[in-house]
Amino acid sequence: MRIMKERNSDVAVTWIEKGLSEKDPEKKLHYFGLALELDPKNPVALNNKGMLLYKKGKFHEAIECYDKILKQYNMSRYLPALYNKALALKKMERFEAALTFMNRALKQQPDNDKIKLHVENLTLIVEGKEEIKPRKETQISIEKLAVNQVYVQWEPPAVSTLLAYEMKCSQKDIKYYKGFGEDLVKEKIIQDKLNRRAYCCGTCRYHKNELCQHKDTKAMSISLNAICRNFRPE
């Protein structure tokens, strides 16, 4: 067993090196995914996967990666994950939480000017001294619509992802609801809806006129019974 783990770790390192040297973002994501299949707790693969998801605008999924790292390092000893989680939280406009994690990053590197600037900026926002600029909605032009493509796959997001969305928090924050039963009840409801396929493209917030409005799929035609990892209930 030990020899097998060591072999998996060595192969995972090879995939990580390929991911780091690759230029194409999708291929990079693929390589880091392969590494994590063999070594699910590898912090380098998790952090790089998180950064790629962040660039794709998948902030919840990016935070999932960072939280897996921070869980191993007691929430405070892995600077890249602290810093990157703070950036993702800021994008989600969860400014107080972002400030908390950016301050933790600053404790790791008190002389880091970039982190100091983020802390100052977030502090001003939290204290209401700086105006928050609204995020621009991405409009997809008709020229960019997918042609003769229909999405028919059943690839639902993780139940934990949907639970975090329903409870308007990161997956890490869900643990604070333990004891109240709220998360457990909602988790069962979500799983049931996935099992019955009540959660599907036809009930997704991005569905409109049989087209997907999510930026990743560029208004691709969809089967109403399909589902992808970007699914969010109406």
Specify the CATH number for the domain of residue 85: 1.25.40.10
Model confidence pLDDT, tens digit, residues 181-193: 555 677 888 888 8
Q: What integer pLDDT is reported at residue 86 of this predicted model?
A: 94
Asked if 118 and 175 sit in the same domain, the reply is no
DSSP of 21-76: H--SHHHHHHHHHHHHHH-TT-HHHHHHHHHHHHHTT-HHHHHHHHHHHHHHTTTT
Q: What integer pLDDT is reported at residue 194 of this predicted model?
A: 87
Between the alpha carbon of residue 44 and those of residues 3, 77, 154, 171, the distances in Å are 22, 14, 29, 20
Asked if 99 and 159 sit in the same domain, the reply is no
Between the alpha carbon of residue 7 and those of residues 14, 35, 143, the distances in Å are 11, 12, 48
Tokens linked to 47: 């952090």
pLDDT < 70 stretches in the chain:
1-8, 74-77, 130-149, 170-184, 216-219
The last residue of one of the domains, among 95, 126, 157, is 126
Asked if 6 and 114 sit in the same domain, the reply is yes
Asked if 20 and 122 sit in the same domain, the reply is yes
Q: What angle do CA 23, 28, 31 make, to 5 degrees?
A: 140
What's the whole-model pTM score? Answer: 0.55
Amino acid at 208: K
Model confidence pLDDT, tens digit, residues 191-229: 888 888 888 888 898 888 777 888 766 567 777 788 888
Q: Burial level of 26, CB count in 10 A (0-12/13-18/19+)?
A: exposed
Please, where are the H alpha helices in 109-217? 113-126, 159-166, 182-195
Q: What integer pLDDT is reported at residue 147 of this predicted model?
A: 43
Q: What integer pLDDT is reported at residue 142 of this predicted model?
A: 35
Asked if 27 and 117 sit in the same domain, the reply is yes
Number of domain units in the chain: 2
Q: What integer pLDDT is reported at residue 103 of this predicted model?
A: 93
Phi, psi (rounded to 5 degrees) for 227 = -160, 145
Asked if 120 and 155 sit in the same domain, the reply is no
Describe the strand order of the beta sheet including 207-208 as a list of residue ranges.
150-151, 221-222, 211-212, 207-208
The last residue of one of the domains, among 126, 150, 174, is 126
Within-domain flag for 11: yes
